[in-house]
């Protein structure tokens, strides 16, 4: 009779004890985030048995926000905690500064040479066209002059004389355009070369942003191991 009574009392005691515990099921992203409960490090996608009560869990990962969550463990129930750690404001600012740094550096280093190259190509084409117009007007004026000198009839003399002066004026205008273009484009080209060299120099002087953050949580080895499962150092109870 006594052994039966002792077994009954033991089962009753264990059952009463188990009713003072519940479980916590964790789901935290990123998966390698540091999760701390008191002095113990937890793992995501695991379930832990805890005494009933109120707990505060801390979660953090480098470059991500630090989060604290308070939860209640109720007797015989499972509390689910799902958390996604976003990138921290400091890291977002760092990424924006890094993007601006690379955009500025690449703009200073590569855009001016491209602009200078396009300007040189355009200048060469423009000078070639103006020189062609100038030579064409010159040749037409010389041809009209020769026909004027060789003309016998009055009507031909008047016709080629007018043509000569027309092409002569066109030639003088084309010469002026060519000289003005050459002068202006040499000035602009020289300025572009200087600007390209200056911007190229200062592109190497830009300071790359650095990311410095305060370490909010650190890893620590669990103090116990039970059946190859990681168990934190706080009190664990087992359900029967």
Q: pLDDT tens digit string along 26-82?
A: 999 999 999 999 888 999 999 999 999 999 999 999 999 999 999 999 999 999 999
Taking alpha carbons only, the member of 88, 41, 40 closest to residue 62 is 88
Of these ranges, 16-20, 109-113, 212-216, 232-236, the one predicted with the greatest mean pLDDT is 109-113
The SS3 assignment for 143 reads: helix
State residue 151's pLDDT score: 84
Q: Please provide residue 55's backbone torsions phi and psi, each rounded to the nearest 5 degrees.
A: -130, 155
State residue 68's pLDDT score: 95
**Pick from 71-80, 117-126, 231-240: least confident:** 231-240
The model's pTM is 0.67
Residues 40, 21: Cα–Cα separation, whole Å: 18
Edge-to-edge order in the sheet of strand 67-73: 40-42, 34-37, 53-60, 67-73
Summarize pLDDT for 173-228 with one digit per residue, the tens: 999 999 999 999 999 999 999 999 999 999 999 999 999 998 988 876 554 333 33
Q: How are the residues of the chain apportioned to helix, strand and coil, as percentages rounded to the nearest 5?
A: 55, 20, 25
Q: Which two tokens stand for residue 158?
A: 């008047």
Residue 231 has pLDDT above 60, yes or no: no
């Amino acid at each position: 009779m006594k052994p039966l009574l002792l077994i009954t009392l033991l089962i009753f005691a264990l059952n009463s004890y188990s009713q003072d515990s519940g479980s916590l099921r964790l789901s935290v992203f990123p998966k390698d985030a540091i999760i701390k409960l008191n002095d113990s490090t937890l793992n995501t996608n695991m379930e832990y048995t805890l005494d009933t009560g109120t707990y505060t869990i801390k979660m953090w990962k480098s470059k991500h926000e630090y989060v604290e969550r308070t939860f209640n463990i109720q007797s015989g129930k499972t509390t689910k905690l799902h958390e996604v750690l976003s990138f921290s404001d400091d890291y977002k600012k760092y990424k924006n500064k890094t993007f601006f740094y690379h955009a500025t550096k690449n703009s200073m280093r590569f855009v001016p040479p491209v602009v200078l190259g396009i300007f040189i190509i355009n200048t060469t084409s423009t000078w070639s066209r103006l020189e062609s117009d100038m030579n064409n007007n010159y040749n037409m004026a010389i041809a009209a002059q020769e026909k004027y000198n060789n003309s016998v009839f009055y009507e031909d003399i008047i016709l080629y004389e007018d043509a000569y002066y027309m092409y002569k004026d066109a030639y003088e205008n084309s010469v002026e355009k060519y000289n003005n273009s050459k002068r202006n484009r040499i000035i602009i080209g020289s300025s572009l070369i200087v600007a390209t060299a200056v911007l190229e120099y200062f592109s190497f002087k830009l300071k790359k942003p650095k990311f410095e953050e305060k370490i909010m949580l650190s890893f620590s080895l669990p103090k116990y191991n039970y059946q190859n499962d990681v168990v934190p150092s706080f009190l664990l109870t087992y359900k029967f």
